[in-house]
Amino acid sequence: MSETRDEGIIEENLNEILRVRREKLAKLRQAGKDPFKITKFNPTHKSITILNEFESLENQEVVIAGRIMTKRVMGRASFAHILDSEGQIQIFVQINELGKEAYEDFKAMDIGDIIGVKGDVFRTKKGEISVRAKEITLLAKSLQPLPEKWHGLKDTDLRYRQRHVDLIVNPDVKKTFIIRSKVIQQIRNYLDARGFIEVDTPILHNTAGGAAARPFITHHNTLDIDMYLRIATELHLKRLIVGGFDKVYEMGRIFRNEGMSIKHNPEFTSIELYQAYADYEDMMDLTEDMIATVAKEVLGTTQIEYQGQPIDLTPPWKRMTMIDAVKEYTGIDFNSFTEDEEAARALKEIGIDLDKPVTWGEALNIAFEERVEDKLIQPTFIINYPVEISPLAKRMNEDPRLTYRFELFITGRELANAFSELNDPIDQKERFMEQAKQRAAGDEEAHMMDEDFVNALEIGMPPTGGLGIGIDRLIMLLTDSYSIRDVILFPTMKPRD
RNA sequence: GACCCAUUAGCUCAGCUGGUAGAGCACUUGACUUUUAAUCAAGGAGUCCGGCGUUCGAAUCGCCGAUGGGUCACCA
């Protein structure tokens, strides 16, 4: 091994590609051309702007900057493609424009290097809009080779672990995250325009409430207490309704210590919003209008396709009670049962085995989840959920076994969950106590008792509609992404040895 | 958590019933002043995911493990 340690950058045992690039960097430094000493560069144009506005820019001087993606050297003239944040543009490099030394420097540059190019816009003989380089500045040396130019990076492990490389070589990935950003922006626009205010509630919770999920536990050293990463924003947002904000929302990260799948990541983004003096019907209206509006703003249409299935987001969306949905798909009419046992027997008759006794409401929900949920492809609001599984929703006046709650299903997946919020503190406390019983019986996902929240309800919360939407799943739908990992920039990964 | 599949050069992938590790891109050297998967010539590049075993001999067969993907379970 050659011990060229003077520059501190030639390490031993590197493969040839890495060694060669480090040697090139060392040479640049020796020649006083260290690219990493450059602090600033001022491009005047983006690649796509030049392509789009060629007529007015032809023969004009522009300055662009970006990454070399391809390079074709032919003796005294060369072509390369430069990738910037918007796209790619070709540059044409000739020895008699640059001079011998600069041309040799260019020839030594590698795919992956970041360069700045000053030159005139023109069209090549083959018709491609290009920049004829008059000056090329190396702005950063790339010491690692990029993946191959036409297959890109396919290995999912590498794509998720090295998202920066994925973004460079797979243009669709960047497109997905641009849409993600726009969707989030449009949701904010929509709500802001309707008088909602965006708030930030704590992520570190003393009680992990607002959902049925196992939390991540962490520790605060000074207070010497365990704390939970939030599993929902619900209980704090409702406190704000008590406090007199009539319309609030929070979009942010939620953490659930549960399994991972194409639909689940341990940390994900939700939006919850609450509107005083509104009910769950209002929340349905808002949900379908907001999602359709966002789709139109971002994609230009409410007719989309998800994994080959056409999906029509044009409102109004189908609304169906859970009882009717179960009746439609299984023939079982839960309205006809008055006893828990009858309901359980009906499940057995359609081949659903139970490992423990269930209530009427639990049986209804099991029938729905087992036999209906994945068939709801077009947007469908399933309304009126059993009270046992809805400890934060208001009981229906018409049937105290049910609540004013809905979930939204699209492509067989739950996208939103909403209710007329339970604001009766006595009922809320009883529901928490029921949950606490289940928790004591070993259900780690049952809700925790939150006395402080009950106290807030005792102060008095107006009738309120609340809505939660899984942002990642919405983005999956709108970007036709198969896995939640394709809409999260840095999905949770196991560390490698 | 269970089961199935994958892991070979920087990347994308071949590698048959066990017999000297391959291709394309990328890289190096040379030629080339309008290429665009540039071309032509030559060259270098490997912990075949890791460990153990079977065997005269293992990328290939077996067992254990790692990571990823998928299906199921879990996720009101």
Q: List, as one string, the DSSP characters of A15-65.
A: -HHHHHHHHHHHHHHHTT--GGG---------HHHHHHTHHHHTT-EEEEE
Across all strands, nucleotide nearest A126 (CA–C1')? B34
CA of A274 to C1' of B16 (A): 65
pLDDT > 80? residue A13: no
Give ipTM to 2 decimals: 0.92
By C-alpha to C1' distance, B45 is nearest to: A16
Contact between A446 and A452 under an 8 Å Cβ cutoff? The reply is no
Report DSSP state, residue A223: T
Structure-token match 């570190």, residue found? A204
A31-68 tens-digit pLDDT? 999 999 999 999 999 999 999 999 999 999 999 999 99
A324-336 tens-digit pLDDT? 999 999 999 999 9
Across all strands, nucleotide nearest A154 (CA–C1')? B12
Across all strands, nucleotide nearest A497 (CA–C1')? B66
Contact between A212 and A447 under an 8 Å Cβ cutoff? The reply is yes
d(CA A59, CA A301): 39
A173-189 tens-digit pLDDT? 999 999 999 999 999 99
CA of A109 to C1' of B72 (A): 51
Across all strands, nucleotide nearest A212 (CA–C1')? B76
CA of A194 to C1' of B8 (A): 58
Assign A267 a pLDDT band (cuts: 50, 70, 90). very high
Q: In one letter, which amino acid is A35?
A: P
The reply to whether omega before A316 is within 30° of 0 (cis) is: yes
CA of A290 to C1' of B2 (A): 41
Across all strands, nucleotide nearest A79 (CA–C1')? B35
The secondary structure element, H or E, covering residue A383 is: strand A380-383
As ranges, strand B nucleotides with an atom below 7 A of a protein CB are: 1, 9-13, 24-28, 31-39, 44-46, 66-76
CA of A328 to C1' of B73 (A): 27
Question: What are the DSSP calls for A178-219, one per residue?
Answer: HHHHHHHHHHHHHHHHTT-EE----SEESS--SSSSPPPEEE
Across all strands, nucleotide nearest A109 (CA–C1')? B27
pLDDT > 70? residue A481: yes
d(CA A311, CA A302): 8
Going A379 to A385 to A391 to A395, the CA torsion angle's sign is positive
| pTM (two decimals) | 0.93
CA of A468 to C1' of B62 (A): 52
Q: Which of A205, A202, A207, A203 is nearest to A439 (CA)?
A: A207
Burial class (CB in 10 A: 0-12, 13-18, 19+), A307: exposed
d(CA A153, CA A481): 17
